[in-house]
Structure 1
Amino acid sequence: MSTVVAKKVLISGASIAGPTLAFWLAKYGFAVTVVERAPALRLGGQNIDVNGPARKVVRKMGVEAAILAQNTTEVGLQIIGQNGEVAGEFPKEASLTGTRELEILRGDLVRILYDCSKEHVDYRFGDSITDLERHPDEVSVTFASGITETFHLVIAADGVRSKTRQLMFGDEPQFKSLGLYIAYMTIPRLSTDNDWWRWYTAVDRRVLMLRPDNKGTIRASVAFLEDSSETDQKRQPDEQKSLLKAKLAGAGWEADRIRQAIDETDDLYFDEVGQIKAPRWSDGRVAMIGDAAYCPTPISGKGTTLAIVGAYVLAGELSRHERHGDAFAAYEKLMRPYVDEVQKLPPGTPKLVYPETKFGVSVLNTVAGIVASKSVQKVVGLFSSDDADEEKEGIDLPNY
């Protein structure tokens, strides 16, 4: 009597897309290994939200309640004026708001996805893929640890700067820069802080944001527009800190507080903002998902959604197609239109919300105040459904 051997799948990256894909593949009977370069789960990061069709997916996974339980406590978005006043306010119940019901810290979501998949998935931390050798029936993988192992399929889920993608596709995927740089960090919470996401626009194309978390601290971010030829995201940490402190000089509001915290924080993240425009997401027995394949930028607010939905779709297609090539083709056919739609940023983004002059900042804040008014919110609400927004997204999720 013959024994059916489960297909071995290697996933590179244990952030959001990787563990989600691992969960579903293991559920469908695949033998799944996840390799992560970091020595343990990377639990840092800022506020993210699980919206649109991703909420359907986490509900199917049985973790929606766990995500709700880790809510960041954020109550909505406040636009802060040039004198520190509230120029506009968008409660999370409003029709137009940046705060969602499933608002969670990135690290908390990573932990939830890991916990729900670890029992049936082989997680290997402190290692990474250094070479891929492709054969008709398998892929031979060499790891930084020195071992070599074969897998039926290899999936890159290791983010916008994916090293695995480079091994798979060379320089083929294109990183489209928006000329925007952003830094995230955790800073101490003060008695003057509140539970709003506070957005402050300074002159010279700078934005400062403070957001609450459920850890008793504040998540701060600094964003600015700059010629990419003049700013290098590969700078050493000390150089990044010096650059950020220079950018904060004279910005006003909480700039001095953030500037001081830069030297004390141990979780500073600094990078260039852009999109990944890949002409294809698979090649033979290798493929990619999430930010590695189609990063939409944090501006879209859909990076987490695409990661979760893409993982669900890829696993589902692999479960119902005998040939991996057919599964990869079906995955791309379903996901590509949705990704293209999500990656369409509003005209003028991001320059319109990063004005250079004091007058420009004043106009932006005035517009925000008008949009935030009860009368405008009421009109917008007439055209908005009270149902969960997953029903309004541009993809019809199959039931695998």
Structure 2
Amino acid sequence: MRRVLISGASIAGPALAYWLRRYGFEVTVVERARGLRPGGQAIDVRGPAIEVVRRMGVLEEVRRRSTDLRGMSVVGDNGEELSTTTDRTASGGDVGGPDVEILRDDLAAILAGAGEAEYVFGDAIASLEQDDGEVRVVFESGARRTFDLVVGADGVHSSTRRLVFGPEEDHLRHLGSYLAVWTVPNFLGLDRWEVVYPMSGDFWGAMVMSVRGNREARVYVGFDADAPPAAFLPPEVSEQKRLVAARFAHAGWELPRLLKHLADAPDFHFDALAQIHLDAWSRGRVALVGDAGYCGSPASGQGTSMALVGAYVLAGELARAGGDHAAAFAAYERELRAYVTGNQALALVNQARRRGQDETGEAALPQSPREVVDAYTLKDY
């Protein structure tokens, strides 16, 4: 029970690979991209996830490569400053607090560099068959290999989940919003600073932050739309860029200049705010971790932390179970189900608050979602 294939090399995949290798497993990570994926939004390492990266020995490096923002401003249509603060930012929360905000691609590189797993880039799982003894995998390249276990860590649109658990629409819950992110030159001259431009109606507006020593900036735009991703998202990136540009064509502030960089942005990312809800995170010898199994959406602010904690717990339970994967998968879910449920409910609360709506409804729990999340304590393995 020592050969494990992990699909996906963003956050959960490399973290799981690190811990499994530490416990003596033979690990292969397959990633469809030709290398670690560039771009993506700034993400947050919070609460118990801070302890996970500390135990991995990479906390200081994560802190060193943080966004290191000093504060934020809110501006109007003509660039007039409506408010400013050095206490917090919209993306990362309290300035100077224990949590760490870092670019997704920077964290992925740190995690992948921490372990010694085999990485196979430019390939993906095409099909798999499992029985009581093994999982037989056929890759898109035509290669065939056999593993004891397979773990899907391939994101909210997980192909591993689709192969084993069925169509995405059976598990994806659309939260009614879309978010686009891309990189631009820091022509606004931001110095470790974030600027928020709110808009009315269905538009969230835009947010720009300086990153990587102010050498570049990341742009975020968001809007509400009830249409589900399968019916709304064009498959081609070029069409997605045109959709975003058209949606914000009449916006004020600096958005016209920011949108001019869309066409050439190599790291453009556009997707729905959505969650994944499954009755179980494993089936036979295949399990899911992170967004593939229980995406909370960017509205939770907890997706990265769930991925890191999930990877740590899954690896720990596999090591503790001594070869009994069924027992390990069941223990993994028992340990994390309340933490995940609280984080997903927190996203609903945040969405409702942003829209000025009642914060209860689907998010109602015996405790508040924040209390559930904050009560979680990392286990020792």
TM-score range, shorter chain: 0.7 to 0.9
Amino acid across the alignment from 2:241: K
Q: Pick one of 86, 102, 105 that aligns with 2:103.
A: 105
1:182 maps to 2:179: yes
Q: What does residue 148 of structure 1 align with?
A: 144
1:144 and 1:347 map into 2 onto residues whose CA distance is: 37
Q: What does residue 373 of structure 1 align with?
A: none
Instruction: Assess, with a 3 A threshold, how the Cα gap between structure 1 residues 354 and 197 changes in structure 2: closer, same or farther.
Output: farther
2:145 and 2:25 map into 1 onto residues whose CA distance is: 16
Deviations 1:74-111 (A, max 9, x none): 123333345533434443569x9365652211111111
User: 1:246: how far off?
Assistant: 1.6
User: 1:229: how far off?
Assistant: 5.5
1:16-55 maps to which residues of 2 (within 5 A)?
Answer: 16-55=11-50
Q: Secondary structure at the match of 2:183?
A: strand
Q: Secondary structure at the match of 1:158?
A: coil
2:56 and 2:348 map into 1 onto residues whose CA distance is: 36
TM-score by length of 2: 0.88
Q: What does residue 210 of structure 2 align with?
A: 212
Q: What does residue 364 of structure 1 align with?
A: none
Deviations 1:115-151 (A, max 9, x none): 111x3x1111111111111111111111111121111
Amino acid across the alignment from 2:325: H
1:22 and 1:346 map into 2 onto residues whose CA distance is: 28
User: 1:235: how far off?
Assistant: 3.9
TM-score by length of 1: 0.84
Native 8 Å contact 1:177 1:275 kept in 2: yes
Q: What does residue 124 of structure 1 align with?
A: 120
1:398 maps to 2:379: yes
1:71-86 maps to which residues of 2 (within 5 A)?
Answer: 71-86=66-81
Q: What does residue 162 of structure 2 align with?
A: 166
1:164 and 1:50 map into 2 onto residues whose CA distance is: 25
Q: Secondary structure at the match of 2:15?
A: helix
Gaps spanning 5+ residues in structure 2: where?
A: 358-369
Q: What does residue 325 of structure 2 align with?
A: 324
Q: Pick one of 165, 169, 193 that aligns with 1:196.
A: 193
Native 8 Å contact 1:43 1:111 kept in 2: no
1:9 and 1:234 map into 2 onto residues whose CA distance is: 34
Q: Secondary structure at the match of 1:221?
A: strand
What is the identity percentage for the equivalent residue pairs of Structure 1 and Structure 2?
43
Amino acid across the alignment from 1:214: R
Size of the aligned set, in residue pairs, is: 361
1:301 maps to 2:296: no
1:211 and 1:398 map into 2 onto residues whose CA distance is: 35
Q: Whose RCO is larger (CA < 8 A, sep 6+)?
A: 1
Native 8 Å contact 1:20 1:308 kept in 2: yes
Instruction: Assess, with a 3 A threshold, how the Cα gap between structure 1 residues 92 and 286 changes in structure 2: closer, same or farther.
Output: farther
Deviations 1:40-67 (A, max 9, x none): 1113222112111000000000000111
User: 1:192: how far off?
Assistant: 3.9
1:15 and 1:335 map into 2 onto residues whose CA distance is: 20
Q: Pick one of 4, 14, 18 that aligns with 2:9.
A: 14
1:342 maps to 2:339: no
Stretches (4+) displaced over 4 A:
98-101, 346-349
2:31 and 2:182 map into 1 onto residues whose CA distance is: 22
2:237 and 2:344 map into 1 onto residues whose CA distance is: 30
Gaps spanning 5+ residues in structure 1: where?
A: 1-5, 361-388
Which structure is larger by alpha-carbon Rg, 1 or 2? 1
Larger mean CA deviation between 104-113 and 244-253 belongs to 244-253
Native 8 Å contact 1:76 1:98 kept in 2: no
Amino acid across the alignment from 1:65: E
Native 8 Å contact 1:73 1:212 kept in 2: no
1:98 and 1:226 map into 2 onto residues whose CA distance is: 30
Larger mean CA deviation between 127-136 and 185-194 belongs to 185-194
